[in-house]
């Protein structure tokens, strides 16, 4: 999933900095425990969304705050779509033919709902609350 992420957008690499240290290659980033931990964090958010499918609004405040934190570290909203693309890529690779159009659509819907909730925490200049 993450090689795919940096293939799609190599400019995301410098956003992952731990102790002010930038990675020079995707390989270096992927072998860092902090980055691997971030992958677990992403997947735990997806897991929480799946378990709260019937009442996703209960995660709204958490996700808006999570969005705010990402804006603060310099993430652009569009970059979440790139993460979504690499997530779908990874799911397709793992599930093969079982990952049909309906399954793809369901994951796309779930992920975009998560991103929409995260984007509620985004401060857009001139945005009226
Ligand atoms: C290009 C996209 C992204 C970038 C560059 C990015 C970067 C970061 C960075 C630098 C941190 C702080 C350090 C750390 O905890 O590792 C962080 C924290 C976190 N990220 Fe991301 N992230 C991205 C996408 C996502 C997505 C899509 C999710 C979930 C759906 C997510 C979930 C989290 C969580 C749960 C934390 C921990 C927040 C906390 O400590 O309260 N990230 N992210």
DSSP-assigned states of every residue in 39-69:
HHHHHHHHHHHHHTGGGGGGGHHHHHHHHHH
Angstrom distances, CA of residue 91 to CA of 52, 85, 94, 99: 20, 10, 5, 7
Q: Is residue 31 part of a domain?
A: yes
- Write the DSSP symbol of residue 1: -
Evaluate whether residue 49 is within a structural domain: yes
Closest ligand 1 atom to residue 82 Cα is 1
Within a domain: 126:
no
Q: Residue 45 sits in which domain range?
A: 2-119
Alpha carbon nearest to ligand 1 atom 38, residue: 66
CATH number assigned to the domain comprising residue 62 = 1.10.490.10
Per the domain annotation, does 45 fall within a domain?
A: yes
The secondary structure element, H or E, covering residue 8 is: helix 2-8
Q: What is the pLDDT along the chain (129 residues), one digit of tens a residue?
A: 667 999 999 999 999 999 889 999 999 999 999 999 999 999 999 999 999 999 999 999 999 999 999 999 999 999 999 999 999 999 999 999 999 999 999 999 999 999 999 999 888 776 666
Residue nearest to atom 32 of ligand 1 (CA): 42
pLDDT of the residue at 115: 96
Q: Under a CB-based contact definition with an 8 Å cutoff, are residues 2 and 30 in contact?
A: yes
pLDDT of the residue at 2:
64
Number of domains in the chain: 1
C-beta 69 within 6 A of ligand 1:
yes
The verdict on residue 125 lying in a domain is: no
Packing angle of the helix pair 60-72, 101-119 (nearest 10 deg):
70
Nearest CA to ligand 1 atom 39: 66
For residue 64, tell me if it sits in a domain. Answer: yes
* Predicted pLDDT at 32: 95
User: Could you tell me if residue 127 is inside a domain?
Assistant: no
121 and 64 Cβ atoms separated by less than 8 Å: yes
Residue 129 lies in a domain: no
- Is residue 45 in contact with ligand 1, taking CB distance under 6 Å? yes
């Amino acid at each position: 999933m993450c090689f795919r992420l940096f293939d799609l957008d190599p400019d995301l690499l410098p956003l992952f900095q731990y102790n002010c240290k930038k990675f020079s290659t995707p390989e270096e980033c992927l072998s860092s425990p902090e980055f691997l931990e971030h992958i677990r964090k992403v997947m735990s958010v997806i897991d929480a969304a799946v378990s709260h499918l019937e009442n996703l609004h209960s995660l709204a405040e958490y996700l808006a705050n999570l969005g705010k934190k990402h804006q603060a570290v310099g993430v652009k909203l569009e970059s979440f779509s790139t993460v979504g693309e690499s997530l779908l890529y990874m799911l397709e690779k793992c599930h093969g033919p079982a990952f049909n159009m309906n399954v793809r659509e369901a994951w796309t819907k779930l992920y975009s709902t998560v991103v929409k909730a995260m984007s509620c925490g985004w401060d857009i200049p001139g945005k009226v609350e």
